[in-house]
C-alpha cells in the first residue's frame, strides 16, 4: 500500500519535472517537450494500474491549479483547450503502455518498452486526442488528424527514448521496474 | 510550490469554490452550442472584463496562459479563410477563448487549500465503492511536497553536467532523474510504513 502510494506520487512529480526540461524544436519547427515521455515512463516502469494512477494524480494536481503542465500552465482552463483529448487520453495511454509491458514476451527491456510506448503512448493517445480536437475545433476527424500529425515524429523520438531509459533504469535498479516480474 | 491562484484576495476569492465550479460547468454547457459570433464576442468581452476586475497581475497571468494557444488559433483561422468559412472560424475561436478564460478565472480566484478540500469532499462518496480516500489525500500531499525536491535534484544534475560538458544535456539526464524518483519513492514508502502506514479502505471501514 505505502509503496504504491509513494511510487504513484513520485512519478506524478517526475511528469512535472520532465515537463520543465528545456523543449527543443524538430526540423519542422514543432516544439516538443518531455512531458509525454513522463506518461510513457509511468506505464513502462509502474505497470498498468499504478502508471495510470500516477498520471491521474498529475492531472488532478493540474486541475486544482498547480502550474505543472509543460510551459507552467495549469488550472481547469487546460481542459477547455483543444488538447483536452490528449490530457484525457494520458492515463489510458499509461495504462495500455503498462499492460503491454507486463504482458509482453520476455524480450529485451528496450524493445518491450519501445513497442509498449508506441502503442500506448502514440496509437492509444491519438485515439483520444484527435476526437477531442475534432470536437473542440468543430472539424471532422481527418482534418483534426491533420492538425495532430506534426507531433507524431516527436512522439516517436520519445518512444525510443522511453525504451532506452527503461533499459537504463532496469540496469541500475532491476527490482524497481515494477512492471517487469522477476 | 506556487499555485496559479492569485495571492491577493479579490471579491471572487470570497465566492465558495463549489459555486464557481458549478457556474463554470453551467456556462460551458450553455456556450457550447452557441454559433453566433456576436453573442460569443459579447461573452468573451464579459469574461475579459471579469478578469480585468481582478487587476493587472491577473491580466498578465491570463496572457501567459493564452499566448501558447495563439499558434492553434492562427492555424484554425487560416484554415477557415482557405475554405471560405471565416465566420465559423471566428465563432470557434471566440468560444474557445471564452471558455478557457472563464476556467482560468476560477483557478485564479480559488486558493489551493480550498481546491484540495473540495477534492476530498468530491472523493468521499467513492469510499463506499472501495476507493481509499485517505490514500488519495496522502498521494496528493506527497506529490506536491516532492515535486520541488525532485526539481532541485534535477537542477543539481544539470549543474553537474554543465560543469563537465559543453554539449547540452537535453534528455541524457532523464535516467538519473528517474533513478532519483525511484529511490525517493522507495525511501518514502519505508518512512510511511515506519510512521504507522496508510490505513487501507477495509480496515477503516
- Please write the tens of the pLDDT for every residue from B141-200: 999 999 999 999 999 999 999 999 988 887 789 999 999 999 999 999 999 999 888 877
Q: With beta carbons under 8 A apart, name residues in chain A contacting B192.
A: 2, 5-6
Residues in B touching A81 (Cβ below 8 Å): 69, 72, 96, 100
Q: Quick one: A77 exposed, middle or buried, by C-beta within 10 A (0-12, 13-18, 19+)?
A: buried
Judge whether residue B1 has pLDDT over 70. Answer: no
For residue B191, give its domain range: 121-204
- pTM of this prediction? 0.89
pLDDT at A26: 64
Domain boundary among B61, B85, B110: B110
Nearest to B103 among A2, A58, A79 (CB): A79
Quote the pLDDT of residue A30: 65
Q: Are residues B93 and B181 in the same domain?
A: no
Q: What integer pLDDT is reported at residue B194 of this predicted model?
A: 92
A-chain residues near B44 (CB < 8 A): none
Contact A80 B28 (CB under 8 A): yes
Instruction: Yes or no: say if B141 and A61 are a contact pair by the CB < 8 Å rule.
Output: no
In a domain, B5, yes or no: no
Q: Are residue B146 and residue B185 in the same domain, yes or no?
A: yes
Segment B54-68 mean pLDDT: 88
Task: Report how many domains make up chain B.
Answer: 2
Unique residue bearing C-alpha cell 475534432 = A134
A172 and chain B in contact, CB less than 8 A: yes
Place of cell 468573451: B44
Task: Clarify whether residues B23 and B62 are in a common domain.
Answer: yes
- In the DSSP assignment, the letter for residue B11 is G
CATH number of A2-176: 1.10.1760.20
- pLDDT score, position A132: 94
Q: Is A12 on the interface with B (CB under 8 A)?
A: yes
* B161 and B198 fall within a common domain: yes
Considering the domain architecture, whether residues B131 and B176 belong to the same structural domain is answered as yes
Q: Give the tens place of pLDDT for each residue, B70-115.
A: 887 888 888 888 888 888 889 989 998 999 999 999 999 998 889 9
Binned at pLDDT 50, 70 and 90, residue B32 comes out as confident
Same domain, B87 and B142: no
- pLDDT for A43: 96
State which of B110, B144, B171 marks the end of a domain: B110
Whether residue A159 lies within 8 A of chain B, CB to CB, comes out as no
B102 and B16 in a common domain? yes
Which of B110, B135, B152 represents a domain boundary (last residue)? B110
Q: Which residues of chain A have pLDDT under 50?
A: 182
Separation in Å, CA of B3 to nearest CA in chain A: 5
User: Is B115 a member of any domain?
Assistant: no
Residues 6+ apart with CB under 8 A from B28: A80, B99, B102, B103
Q: How far apart are CA B185 and CA A46, in angstroms?
A: 12
Q: Read off the pLDDT of each residue in B32-39 and give the average, rounded to a whole number.
A: 89
Interface test with A, best of B22, B88, B171 (most A CBs within 10 A): B171
Residues B95 and B17 grouped into a single domain: yes
Residue B110: list chain A partners with CB under 8 A.
65
Tell me how far CA of residue B92 lies from CA of A70, A126, B32, B76, in angstroms.
Answer: 25, 22, 10, 9
Write the CA distances from A136 to A140, B89, B157, integer angstroms. Answer: 11, 12, 40
- What pLDDT is recorded for position B201? 60
Please check whether residue B99 lies inside any domain of the structure: yes
Q: For residue B205, name the pLDDT band (cuts at 50, 70, 90).
A: very low
Amino acid at each position: 500500500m505505502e509503496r504504491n502510494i509513494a511510487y504513484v506520487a513520485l512519478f506524478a512529480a517526475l511528469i512535472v519535472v520532465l515537463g520543465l526540461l528545456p523543449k527543443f524544436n524538430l526540423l519542422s519547427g514543432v516544439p516538443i517537450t518531455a512531458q509525454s515521455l513522463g506518461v510513457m515512463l509511468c506505464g513502462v516502469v509502474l505497470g498498468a494500474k499504478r502508471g495510470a494512477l500516477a498520471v491521474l494524480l498529475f492531472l488532478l494536481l493540474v486541475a486544482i491549479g498547480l502550474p505543472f503542465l509543460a510551459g507552467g500552465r495549469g488550472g481547469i482552463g487546460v481542459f477547455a483547450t483543444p488538447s483536452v483529448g490528449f490530457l484525457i487520453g494520458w492515463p489510458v495511454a499509461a495504462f495500455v503502455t503498462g499492460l503491454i509491458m507486463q504482458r509482453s514476451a520476455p524480450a529485451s527491456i528496450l524493445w518491450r518498452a519501445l513497442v509498449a510506448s508506441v502503442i500506448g503512448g502514440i496509437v492509444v493517445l491519438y485515439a483520444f486526442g484527435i476526437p477531442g480536437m475534432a470536437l473542440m475545433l468543430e472539424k471532422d476527424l481527418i482534418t483534426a488528424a491533420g492538425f495532430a500529425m506534426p507531433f507524431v515524429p516527436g512522439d516517436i523520438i520519445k518512444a525510443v527514448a522511453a525504451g532506452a531509459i527503461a533499459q537504463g533504469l532496469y540496469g541500475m535498479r532491476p527490482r524497481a521496474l515494477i512492471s517487469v516480474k522477476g | 510550490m506556487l499555485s496559479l491562484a492569485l495571492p491577493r484576495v479579490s471579491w471572487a476569492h470570497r465566492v465558495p469554490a463549489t459555486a464557481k465550479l458549478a457556474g463554470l460547468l453551467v456556462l460551458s454547457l450553455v456556450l457550447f452550442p452557441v454559433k453566433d459570433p456576436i453573442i460569443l464576442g459579447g461573452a468573451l468581452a464579459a469574461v475579459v472584463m471579469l478578469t480585468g476586475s481582478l487587476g493587472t497581475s491577473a491580466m498578465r497571468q491570463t496572457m501567459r496562459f493564452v499566448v501558447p494557444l495563439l499558434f492553434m488559433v492562427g492555424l484554425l483561422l487560416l484554415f477557415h479563410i482557405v475554405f471560405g468559412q471565416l465566420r465559423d472560424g471566428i465563432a470557434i475561436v471566440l468560444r474557445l477563448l471564452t471558455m478557457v478564460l472563464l476556467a482560468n478565472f476560477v483557478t485564479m480566484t480559488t486558493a489551493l487549500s480550498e481546491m484540495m478540500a473540495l477534492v476530498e469532499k468530491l472523493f468521499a462518496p467513492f469510499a463506499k465503492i472501495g476507493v481509499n480516500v485517505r490514500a488519495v489525500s496522502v498521494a496528493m500531499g506527497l506529490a506536491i511536497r516532492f515535486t520541488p525536491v525532485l526539481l532541485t535534484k534535477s537542477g543539481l544534475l544539470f549543474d553537474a553536467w554543465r560543469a563537465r560538458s559543453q554539449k547540452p544535456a537535453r534528455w541524457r539526464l532523464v535516467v538519473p532523474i528517474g533513478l532519483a524518483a525511484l529511490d525517493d519513492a522507495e525511501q518514502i514508502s519505508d518512512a510511511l510504513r515506519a510512521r504507522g502506514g496508510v490505513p487501507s479502505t477495509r480496515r477503516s471501514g
